[in-house]
Structure formats: C-alpha cells, structure tokens
Structure 1
C-alpha cells in the first residue's frame, strides 16, 4: 500500500504513523505542500494521512483548496483517510462543514473520552497532546469518536474508512520535543495552564500508539 502523507510544518511529522506503516510493510511518501505546492494524485494514493499545522482551513491559500479537492476525490473512491488536527479540519471543511474557534484553546496534555465503540479496542480515556484553538463540526453522517472536558468535537469516524482527530496521538517523544522547541510561543492563552517545561516533562503514554494503530487498522480493513 502506498500511503501519501501531507505534512504542513517541519515540526509535525508522521511520528508513530511511520512505525505502523513499516510494521505492515507499506510505503510512506511525505509531501510538503506548504513549501513546494506539490500534492499526490488520487490514482497514486492508496491511503491519505493529513497532518497538523499552524494554518487554518479557512485560509485562502491555493494549496489548501487543492488539498480539499484531493480529499473529496478520495472520499468518493472510499480510500482510507486519517486526519490529525488541521488534517481533520480539512476533511470536514471539504465536506462543507465549518471550522470555527473552539470554546477553549487547548495546548498541552489532557484527557479525551471515548464516545463510540465502533472501533472496539480503544480505551475509554486517553491522555493526548492538544495543540489547537479551532475545531471542526461533526458531519451529519459521521459518528462522534472522542470528546475532551473543554471541547466536545475531538474525533469522528466517517464511513468506516475515515477518522479525524482534533488532538495528536502520533507524536513520539522526539516529536514532542521538536514541537515544543519550535512552537512554544503558541502555548500562551491555553486553558490547560501548562508551560513548556511541564509539557516536555510529561511522558508520552504508550497507549496512545496502541490506540493509533487500532484506528489505522480499522480504516484500512477491507
């Protein structure tokens, strides 16, 4: 399987998604449309991963609009799609749903709570990395998957082959350090009240990778 990854900033890479791909002997191709303007074609995409980034789906940049056109094509083809943060917002925006300011800016570690058992082996609570102040609306035909204490819309499942998460379960410890050292100014104004040192000192829960693998297994099931 060829997995095309859309990376939107240097410090938010695929993390544990790459480990899952290697475990299943899939090929990972990483695109940087924010820098080079290059996107994969639908016919060379078996699975699409859309990562986070500092931009908003509401920005009128040409590559952001083209990215949503690719998403719509792949949705029509019923190919698996996984979106994290900005990536999840792009999926819902492509479907015509609004991306708006969240009730609270969440930056740091905080729990999310499972709202659906469609993916049978996910835990009831996960302590995950939040890095956002916008949120998606849940599409009418999607199922709410996770909520946090401050923001209800934290994850969704759509048509078995699509999952979008507002938070991050893909970062490994090295990825967290990379995010913090490059983007710690973004922490200001977060309702989670954690500074950079606190976020860095928090171990990445091993169950996050397990949950991520379960989600990726689910959306790639025949």
Structure 2
C-alpha cells in the first residue's frame, strides 16, 4: 500500500509511524501542509493518515489549507478511502462525521491511563498508558464505536465504518526525540498550567521506557487498521 501522511506543524510529525510503514513493506509520502504544500490527490494513494497539530480545525483565516483538507477528508469518507487521524487529524474526521468538536474541561498533557470501552473494537489491552497533548476533544460520531476514555477525556478515540476510519485523541506514535522536540518548540495546550491532568516536561521525559511501551500498541493499532483498509 502507498499511504499519504498529512502533517500540520513542523513539530507534530509522524514519529514512529514512518519506520513502521517501511518495516511492513508500505510506502508513504508526507505532505507538509503548514509549509503550503498542496494536499494529495486521493487517486494517488491507498489511505490517508492525518497527523496532529496545534491549530483550531476551523481557523481558515490563518490556515487557508484547512478548507482543502476538509474537502479531502469528506471525499475520502464518501469514497471508501481508509483514514486514520491522530489528535487534530482525529478531530477533523470526527467533525466531518457530524460529531461535536470543542474545548475540553481540562488540558491533558503527558502520560495518562486509558481504559478500553466494553464495546471497543480495538485490539488493545483493557488498560494502557498513552501520551496526551490536547485541550480540544470530540464527541463520539454517530455509528462509531469508542476506543475508551481517560480521567480527563471520556472519548479517546473511535472506529467508524468497520474500522475503515479511525480517530485517536491519544498518541502511540511518539518517541523520546519527537516529544523532546515538541516540548522545546511548541506551547503546551491552553490551560495546561492549571490542569490536574498536565505534567511538567521533566516528568514527561523522565522514563524512556514509556516510549518503548508505545511501540507494540502502535503495531497492534496500525495492523488492525491496515487489515480493515485492505478488506
């Protein structure tokens, strides 16, 4: 398969996803929308991965490429193209599916436990720890099944159309290097300083084994999604 990755910020990259795709024999192209690269044509790839970003998904005045990306997502959903969204990318998919997207009660930053929903179709442990970097959240889209929730965000992800479209609020793809870059170059989500669910930088980076434990979770998630995409 050939996958298109849409990147919205220089500091919210694909992380471990690129290496996973290559190791599994898939090719991919990264489109840097923040640098005014045009979004891809759906016909040129087999699936889309929409990465995270710090901007509001409707801030067309500052980011005019958002309108083109929304049209691309709508075409992919209508045209049976597989999609995976992470963070901002998940919010964009959720919005196109008619779900409410908006500001959460608290920012979630750092490492937080997710409890799998009883009806979740995701092949993941019943409890796992993932990386968080958000204030904006989304409701569960109609006809979607939930991933599960954390203390700060009850909807941490969803699967729609038998897993063809996946949305993740949490992050499995990050590495120690990618989070170090994020902390050094990007402001933490709004409200982080007062949130009970936000951790300081030194705590986030203190245990490198946390990043290692994300690798098998990413493998399970992407393998599940690729199987759905190829079905």
Listed one character per residue, the Cα deviations across residues 172-210 of structure 1 (whole Å, up to 9, x for unaligned) are 111111111112554433322421111121323433221
Structure 1: unaligned runs, 5 residues or longer? none
Match of 1:206 among 208, 212, 215: 212
Question: Is the CA contact 1:163–1:215 (under 8 Å) kept in the aligned structure 2?
Answer: no
2:187 & 2:67 partners in 1: Cα distance?
28
Question: Is the CA contact 1:126–1:207 (under 8 Å) kept in the aligned structure 2?
Answer: no
Q: CA deviation at 1:147?
A: 0.4
- Please give the residue correspondences for 1:139-158 in structure 2 after superposition, counting only pairs within 5 Å: 139-158=141-160
Match of 2:167 among 164, 167, 175: 164
Question: Is the CA contact 1:69–1:94 (under 8 Å) kept in the aligned structure 2?
Answer: no
Question: Is the CA contact 1:97–1:136 (under 8 Å) kept in the aligned structure 2?
Answer: yes
2:100 & 2:146 partners in 1: Cα distance?
16
Q: CA deviation at 1:98?
A: 2.3
For the pair 1:177 / 2:183, whether they are aligned, the reply is no
1:134 & 1:117 partners in 2: Cα distance?
22
Which residue of structure 2 lines up, in the alignment, with residue 195 of structure 1? 200
Structure 1 runs of 4+ with >6 Å offset: none
- The TM-score, its normalising length taken from structure 2, stands at 0.89
- The TM-score, its normalising length taken from structure 1, stands at 0.93
Alignment length (residue pairs): 221
Which residue of structure 2 lines up, in the alignment, with residue 135 of structure 1? 137
SS of 1:68's partner is helix
Listed one character per residue, the Cα deviations across residues 95-135 of structure 1 (whole Å, up to 9, x for unaligned) are 23221111211111111111144233x11112111111110
1:77 & 1:211 partners in 2: Cα distance?
28
Q: CA deviation at 1:37?
A: 4.2
Q: CA deviation at 1:13?
A: 0.9
Structure 2: unaligned runs, 5 residues or longer? none
1:112 & 1:75 partners in 2: Cα distance?
27
Q: CA deviation at 1:139?
A: 0.7
